[in-house]
Structure 1
Amino acid sequence: MLTQSGRRKLLKVTGTGAIASTAGCLSLMDSGGDVTVGGKEFTEQLILSYISIHMLENAGNGVEDSSGLGGSTPNHEGIVQGEIDHYWEYTGTALNHHLGYEDEKITDPDEQYQRVAEEYEDEHGIVWLDMAPFNNTYVVTANQEWQAETGVETLTGLAEHINDGNEVTWGVSTQYLDNPTALGDMPEFYGYEDSMDNVSYEEMSIGTINYRAVEEGEVDLGVGFETDPQLQQFDVGIVEDDETWFVVYYPAPLVREEALDDDVRKALNVPTEHLDTETMQQLNAEVAVDERDPRAVAEDWLESEGLL
């Protein structure tokens, strides 16, 4: 099972091949289910998919489970082509990846949501339901001792620290450095591009190894996502993105118009407002750290919130 750090990697899964590779799963869609639920194959998305499945079943809908369908592309193509009826998508992924605005950045969550919702409905007949109140964007982590010594609390402060001639080590993968919306163009945005000789990047994957390296002081800085369970598991600080460089990624349930009625809308919207950052971190931790089944985690949480 992919952990939360697999989200960006899954964007690279291409469409037709990925759809073909799930043909056995998609063939179930004609077996009588009222709503076919897709989803991406990493921890957070599996949980969200099962939240939807439980809520739809509880409302009396027949459900076909195609959760864990693959990356962003097969899920997008699946719902556009009518092979799945619903999955959860992130606003930033929709704007920059699916709609093709690779160089456009909208940092206001509501504005970004309205933009993608309108274009999806106009172009594809797909409805964005309520947006959940958490932003699964990038986060810069810091060794706590280093942060206490330097007083660096924001990325503006980090830029000043680097421009003053101080050296920093940063644990990050090439994938994030190559991505202009991740760390790639951040030096230009925050104004320390002329002081990059003071920055040493240490090649490492994003996930537990990165958080551990930051906690133990092998590097000063790392990178992750705001809903990573490792943020609870490891003692690391956060360097605030105070000028909002990173693209925002707020999730919402997507549904084909043909599959959407009042009962489906209500079933999928009801749990959304309960999914804040702290809640999502905890649910992710139960699956990725405690190794619980995501279906059971989703059901237990819905019951604890009085939604089932």
Structure 2
Amino acid sequence: MTKKITFFLVTFALVIGIVSCQFNKSGGDIIVASKGLGEQAILSELLAQQIEATTNLKVDRRDLLGTFVCHQAITTGKIDAYVEYTGTAFTAILKQKVINDPKEVYQRLKQAYAQKFNLEVMKSLGFENTFAMIIRGEEARRYKIQTLSEAAQYAPQWRAAFGYEFMDREDGFPGLSKTYGLRFAQSPRIMDLGLLYRALLQKQVNIISANSTDGQISRLGLVVLKDDKQYFPPYEATPIIRKETLQKYPEVRKAIAQLSGKISADEMRHLNNLVEAELRDVKEVVSEFRKANGLA
């Protein structure tokens, strides 16, 4: 037991040490961070470019190690802003039970973050990155399927494949199956996330679960089935900013507010595809997006 505790403390100290080294400022006025994922790199760069283009402020960029590190960094003043997903903040940070109403989640999150952490939860960028049930485009067109309710009638003839996490977690397959009455030809296959798209394309399965803004969805001509019964919790992409930063630089609020509702799920998939599949430079991709949407 002592060895386990020692290992944990040493590991924790190393992580904190590594993270702390990332906060050495290089002359910027504020720091915008990402949670380290491909999509997060795009969103943090979007915030950074928007601030620099509409104010006289210089932004430092930081790539961190996930939700909890970003939250710790912003509450201790080591960073000023990052993009979080409402459902993640509500359940992982606030430890609240799942709520399916996006407006209620947002309002409760906004109030709690202001009171507990002195953080401003801005309006959504326009899309959410949640669990998605995905089928091949050809089958969606052949059977005229757009929603999970419509797909349920074909499920008895279908084979499914899901990731380990989706099969176990509270907002995963067990509840989804009950909500929509999903009964497949055989028990869903549990597969590594990296193999799910291959299995779908090779017609080993008819339906998979993945992230709703994966770049592969648009690239491979796949279709995300609409969650018409709103089973999945909302995971809207939302900028989180320190209130102290907004008081010091009030122009930042206006700059970020201009991004509200500017990115749809389809557009986010496209941006992810440009960076992940076509290996385009993130700064370039974001700059082109801003120009195309009248933000430049």
TM-score scaled by length of structure 2: 0.86
Aligned-partner residue type, residue 23 of structure 1: S
Q: 2:277 corresponds to which residue?
A: 289
CA distance in 2 between partners of 1:213 and 1:84 (Å): 41
Provide the secondary structure at the position in 2 that maps to 1:245.
coil
Q: 2:135 corresponds to which residue?
A: 142
Q: Note if contact 1:229-1:282 (Cα within 8 Å) is conserved in structure 2.
A: yes
Q: Residue 57 of structure 1: which of 44, 52, 61 is its match?
A: 52
CA distance in 2 between partners of 1:124 and 1:205 (Å): 37
Aligned-partner residue type, residue 205 of structure 2: V
Query: Judging changes above 3 Å, is the alpha-carbon distance between structure 1 residues 41 and 123 closer, same or farther for their aligned structure 2 residues?
Result: same
Matches within 5 A, 1:121-140: 121-140=114-133
Which ranges of structure 1 fall in alignment gaps of 5 or more residues?
1-13
Q: Residue 257 of structure 1: which of 243, 249, 263 is its match?
A: 243
Matches within 5 A, 1:5-16: none
Deviation of the 1:250 alpha carbon: 0.7
Query: Judging changes above 3 Å, is the alpha-carbon distance between structure 1 residues 199 and 150 closer, same or farther for their aligned structure 2 residues?
Result: farther
Q: Note if contact 2:33-2:61 (Cα within 8 Å) is conserved in structure 1.
A: yes
CA distance in 2 between partners of 1:267 and 1:149 (Å): 45
Query: Judging changes above 3 Å, is the alpha-carbon distance between structure 1 residues 147 and 274 closer, same or farther for their aligned structure 2 residues?
Result: closer
Provide the secondary structure at the position in 1 that maps to 2:108.
helix
Q: Note if contact 2:124-2:238 (Cα within 8 Å) is conserved in structure 1.
A: yes
1:187 corresponds to 2:173: no
Provide the secondary structure at the position in 1 that maps to 2:280.
coil
Q: Note if contact 1:56-1:264 (Cα within 8 Å) is conserved in structure 2.
A: yes
Deviation of the 1:127 alpha carbon: 0.3
Matches within 5 A, 1:118-267: 118-144=111-137, 146-147=139-140, 153-162=146-155, 166-192=156-182, 198-207=185-194, 209-260=195-246, 261-267=249-255
Provide the secondary structure at the position in 2 that maps to 1:295.
helix
Task: Using the TM superposition, name which of 143-152 and 221-230 deviates more.
Answer: 143-152
How many percent of aligned residue pairs carry the same amino acid?
28
Q: 1:77 corresponds to which residue?
A: 72
Deviation of the 1:298 alpha carbon: 1.1
1:25-62 C-alpha deviation (Å, 9 max, x unpaired): 12x14x54321111111111101111111122221112
How many aligned positions are there? 283
Q: 2:6 corresponds to which residue?
A: none
Which ranges of structure 2 fall in alignment gaps of 5 or more residues?
1-10
CA distance in 2 between partners of 1:125 and 1:15 (Å): 26
Query: Judging changes above 3 Å, is the alpha-carbon distance between structure 1 residues 78 and 201 closer, same or farther for their aligned structure 2 residues?
Result: same
Q: 2:20 corresponds to which residue?
A: 23
Deviation of the 1:104 alpha carbon: 2.3
CA distance in 1 between partners of 2:271 and 2:141 (Å): 30
1:124-163 C-alpha deviation (Å, 9 max, x unpaired): 000011212112111111234555676654323444444x
Query: Judging changes above 3 Å, is the alpha-carbon distance between structure 1 residues 115 and 206 closer, same or farther for their aligned structure 2 residues?
Result: same
Provide the secondary structure at the position in 1 that maps to 2:192.
coil
CA distance in 2 between partners of 1:271 and 1:147 (Å): 32
Q: 2:259 corresponds to which residue?
A: 271
Q: Residue 116 of structure 1: which of 98, 106, 109 is its match?
A: 109
Query: Judging changes above 3 Å, is the alpha-carbon distance between structure 1 residues 70 and 120 closer, same or farther for their aligned structure 2 residues?
Result: same
Q: Residue 99 of structure 1: which of 91, 94, 97 is its match?
A: 94
Query: Judging changes above 3 Å, is the alpha-carbon distance between structure 1 residues 108 and 82 closer, same or farther for their aligned structure 2 residues?
Result: same
CA distance in 2 between partners of 1:226 and 1:203 (Å): 19
Task: Using the TM superposition, name which of 221-230 and 41-50 deviates more.
Answer: 221-230
Deviation of the 1:199 alpha carbon: 3.3
Aligned-partner residue type, residue 48 of structure 1: L
Aligned-partner residue type, residue 154 of structure 1: T
